[in-house]
Amino acid sequence: MKILSGIGLLLVSTLLLSDTLTILNWEGYLDSSVISRWQKQSGHTLQQIYFDNDEDRDSVMVGHKDRVIDLVVLDESASKTFGASGTLLAFKSNPKVANIQGVDQRWQDVCGDYSVPYLWGTLGVAYRTDKILSAPTSWHEILTPNKALSGHIGLMDDFVDLLAPALFVDNHSINTNDVGQLKGAFERLKDLLPHVLTFEYSISFLDSSQHKDNLYMTLAYSGDQYLLNEKSGSENWDFTTLKEGTVAWMDCFAVMMDSPRQDLALDFLNFLYQPEIAALNSEALYVATPMQSARALQTREFLSDTTVYAPVEVMNKAQYYEVLDKKNILLRNRITSSLVKIHESK
């Protein structure tokens, strides 16, 4: 899910194909059968540019040229930030996307005025059941790993989610701007570094690293385990949340303000938010949909999967992303960058 090394060629090809819709997205985050159905129905082509983390996504959004990106998947806080800066189109009242009104009312405002809720889930750990006999229950099992886990742990190069485990165990907010709390999280994670295998997003790591079989447990989002199993050709990966808490995240779909294919982008969104299509996409990806009308079409087995639809006791401990101020972001970026550099220097 790294930014494509051939992105320059991709941008050129998009310019030549004016009927091609381009989405900036996580890898494996839009079902292939949904893409095929839309292409067949619309007569247009859809292509995707993948990113590894929020910082890479933001860089592409800001730095892309020639108006190549039409749609982007981003979290709720980024949606509000980019919307306020004029980067995103306000489209919720447009009659071309009437189907988005099917999103549950409790989710409607989460993504703000410039995007629509897409899929939601939780933050926890993905782990290999062939290496770890019992499901982890505490964030301490990542932060203070036993000997068998040492050298087999994956983290994320993300200035919010990377710090979350250390903040959870000290009962702090994941959005804290308290310098002392953030420095305390840094110290906890610094102590963990000798046991860390990689900071690369786990799905990308399995795609590209010759050491992929050494990854036993990793910071992950619900649903990641299914793509990890697909990448590894196994059924060994599972997912769980931890007792100290989780992040309940919501990904949102937005239209780029500078896209010359806005009408086509809106047509795609209206297609995607048909209950049948939303249900199919959600279940294929093993990620929860924010549409009751779509959930009504999903299998009983899927609806009862607690890694998809987290139970009440998990959601009662969930925290939510907030828009962070610049000073907070700067400090978090310094912490994250320092941890990665220390790890790479060893």
Distance from chain centroid for Cα 306: 18
Q: Is the pLDDT of residue 42 over 70?
A: yes
User: What is the band of 284 on the pLDDT scale with cuts at 50, 70, 90?
Assistant: very high
Work out the mean pLDDT of the chain and round it to a whole number.
93
Q: Is the pLDDT of residue 5 over 70?
A: no
What are the helix (H) ranges across 85-162?
A: 105-108, 140-143
Q: Which two tokens stand for residue 330?
A: 């700067």
Q: At which residue do the structure tokens 């996307």 appear?
A: 97
Q: Please report the pLDDT score of residue 8 as a whole number.
A: 42
The model's pTM = 0.89
Angstrom distances, CA of residue 74 to CA of 1, 62, 270: 15, 13, 18
User: What is the band of 106 on the pLDDT scale with cuts at 50, 70, 90?
Assistant: confident
Q: Is the pLDDT of residue 262 over 80?
A: yes
First-to-last CA distance in the chain? Answer: 25
Max intra-chain CA distance, the chain: 58
User: What is the band of 18 on the pLDDT scale with cuts at 50, 70, 90?
Assistant: low
- Which of the 8 DSSP states describes residue 97? G
